[in-house]
Structure 1
Amino acid sequence: MTAVETETGQLKTEADEPGWEVDPDDEWGVAVITTVGRQLKLRREAVGMRAADFGRVVGYGEDMVYKIEGGKRIPRQEFLDKADEVLEAGGLIAAAWEDVKKVRYPKTVRALGKLEAKAVEIAVYECHIIAGLLQTPDHARTVIGAAQPPYSPDDVERMVAARLARHSVFDRKPAPALSFVLEEGVLRRPIGGRMVWRQQLEHLVNVGRLHNVVLQVMPMNCETHSGLDGRVELLKFADGTAMGRSDGAFNGRPTSDPKHLRILELRYGTIRAQALSPRESLAFIDTLLGET
């Protein structure tokens, strides 16, 4: 497929847009993108523009314009902004981004993101990977791309974008209290190669120094370990409610039962007590950086 050249460079085509396909199993997402695409087409036709001409003006190939109008591809924000200007929509098309950006991410991640966005406290123990909220883009891409059976390139990019979108929790005001416990063995594994590994360790150090973040490392020489059953996650909300999940309890399902939450809080508290202190943990990660 050959894209058309313009003064600003090559027009975006389907191949240039990894991770922006509509999930056919996401009914709400399909409805949103179909509606937006239909409105775009109606407005384009109302002003008498052909798809090819419209595409050249907004910087997209004709094939991509048809994909977006047909509800097959998720439009980027700059596409909607430019389309709004070209079609003189008075901000109506640009405003669609508020719904479109949510469709960009899988349903399960949208649900998790909503909970994290409301939580005043988030506590996570991870045993096999670095917590998603702490992953750099390249690290996340490598971890997701290593899955078997493998995801398609589109799905990998969609999942990476979804994981990174959750990082907005660090920008919230007032800032939530964040606590993480990671395994030493995970930090020693050079996922993605030496450069990606080093960037990930540097990111952990920077995040661990934030005033609202407590980052701890579970050392491999710890003789007693209460996290062997797997991941633990706890979220607490401003209204006093909470939600938790653990791989090794309650069938791994989210729970808000007070009795279950007490068990998860006990488990997480014990894991934190067994891990290195925050100061020791940052010093340990600095040592790892010196070895890279």
Structure 2
Amino acid sequence: MTEVRGTGGDSGDVARPQLDEDLSEVSDFLRAIGKQIKLLRERAGLTQKEFAKEVGYTESLIGAVEQGKRTPQRELLVAAERVLDAGGLLLIIADDIERAKAKARVRHPEWFRGYAGLEAICEELNDWSLWDFPGLLQTEAHARAIYEMRQPVLSEEVIEMRVAARLARQEILAKWPRAMFSWVIDESVLRRPMGGWDVHAGQLRHLLEVGSTRGMVIQVMPLNRTDHAGMGGPFILLTPKGRSQMGYIEVQTSSRLITDQSEVRILNARYSTLRSQAHTPEESLSLIEKILGER
């Protein structure tokens, strides 16, 4: 058995020193972008409130972007380019941000890079999630909300880096040939509106989209099930290319990468039972739609 200390990447990298890497370059980059947007806005004679209305975003988000506390997304920069007549400057910045996001895949905390590297080359991944949506399925808004509520509090720079790194991991879902993916998610996760209902609704809609994609299976473990094979906690089974299947588990500030095949077989048996106890994929998507319709 190989053991990796620290926490993992899906249900949260909790209670840990924030700065595993030098973030000065990231924070300086965001502040520089924010200053440029503010300068262009003021040159156009717009207040933050007026500018926010023109580009279709909230005033608080514009304020956070101008302070370098939030990464401006391409859609915002395209809208700002039009409103502020920036002469192509903001479109160039959008490309720079995309390149920075591409680099984010190597900005995982040191204690998580081992698992992240294996996940990136996996040919099959099966995930039992008891407490939160799997990291590979999280929307940007949900991931940011989770990091913003983390205790001890994370700095804005760390939050931005962690969100970018989590989203970069999701590129494996679009690779071809596609790996085989399945997720079993506890119903309680679907009913816990982390980040507020708007964020949660966006997350549920994303699950519907992924669950309707060929080669990706989402099942929900119902709350009223009297037999439950997953009460020991969440875990992941993954098969990296050219390697045997292995398990990954985490709790609080400890995580383990399991390579002992006798233990992997136990996790496999549990996962098979979980899938048999959960709703079918079709029933699961119907339940997600039903929860969305309850508001």
Task: Indicate whether 1:190 and 2:242 are aligned.
Answer: no
1:175 has 2:190 as partner: no
Match of 1:220 among 205, 223, 227: 223
1:233 correspondence with 2:236: yes
Q: Select which of 246, 253, 256 maps to 1:253.
A: 256
The 1:192–1:267 alpha-carbon spacing in structure 2 relative to 1, beyond 3 Å, is same
Deviations, residues 169-218 of structure 1 (Å, cap 9, x unaligned): 11110000001010111101111112111111110011001111110000
Moved more, 238-247 or 128-137: 238-247
Segments of structure 2 that go 5 or more residues without pairing to the other structure are: 1-30, 43-64, 72-87
Q: Take 1:172 and 1:265, find their aligned partners in 2: how far apart are those partners?
A: 25
What is the Cα deviation at residue 143 of structure 1?
Answer: 1.3
Take 2:96 and 2:226, find their aligned partners in 1: how far apart are those partners? 56
**Root-mean-square deviation (CA), in Å?**
3.6
1:129 has 2:132 as partner? yes
Question: Alpha-carbon deviations, 1:114-139, whole Å to 9, x = none?
Answer: 21221110010010111111111111
Q: Distance in 2 between matches of 1:7 and 1:224?
A: 60
The SS at the match of 1:272 is: helix
Residue type of the partner of 2:286?
A: A
Equivalent residues in 2 for 1:155-170, closer than 5 Å: 155-170=158-173
Task: Percent identity, please.
Answer: 35
Which residue of structure 1 lines up, in the alignment, with residue 147 of structure 2? Answer: 144
In structure 2, what is the equivalent of residue 111 of structure 1? 114
Q: Which amino acid aligns with 1:241?
A: S
CA distance in 1, matches of 2:209, 2:282: 13
User: What's the CA shift for 1:109?
Assistant: 4.4
**Partner of residue 68 from structure 2, selected from 16, 19, 31:** 16
Structure 1 residues 6 and 192 mapped into 2: Cα distance closer, same or farther (>3 Å)? Answer: closer
Per-residue deviation at 1:256?
1.0
The structural deviation recorded for 1:223 is 0.2
Structure 2 CA distance for aligned equivalents of residues 217 and 177 of structure 1: 18
Higher Cα Rg, which structure: 1
TM-score, normalised on structure 2? 0.66
Within-5 A mapping of 1:72-83: 78-79=95-96
Contact 1:245 1:264 in 2 (8 A): no
In the alignment, the residues of structure 2 paired with residue 144 and residue 258 of structure 1 have an alpha-carbon distance, to the nearest angstrom, of 34
Deviation at 1:151, TM superposition (A): 1.1
Equivalence for 1:202: 205
Distance in 2 between the 1:177 and 1:198 partners?
Answer: 26
1:208–1:150 distance in 2 versus 1, CA, 3 Å: same
Q: Which secondary structure does the structure 1 equivalent of 2:257 belong to?
A: coil
Residues 1:78 and 1:106: Cα distance change in structure 2 (over 3 Å): farther
* Displacement after TM superposition at 1:107 (Å): 2.9
TM-score by length of 1: 0.67
* Bigger mean CA deviation after superposition, 148-157 or 199-208: 148-157
Unpaired runs of at least 5, structure 1:
20-57, 61-75, 82-93
Structure 2 distance, partners of 1:281, 1:80, is 36
In structure 2, relative to structure 1, the CA distance for the partners of 1:269 and 1:15 (3 Å cut) is: same
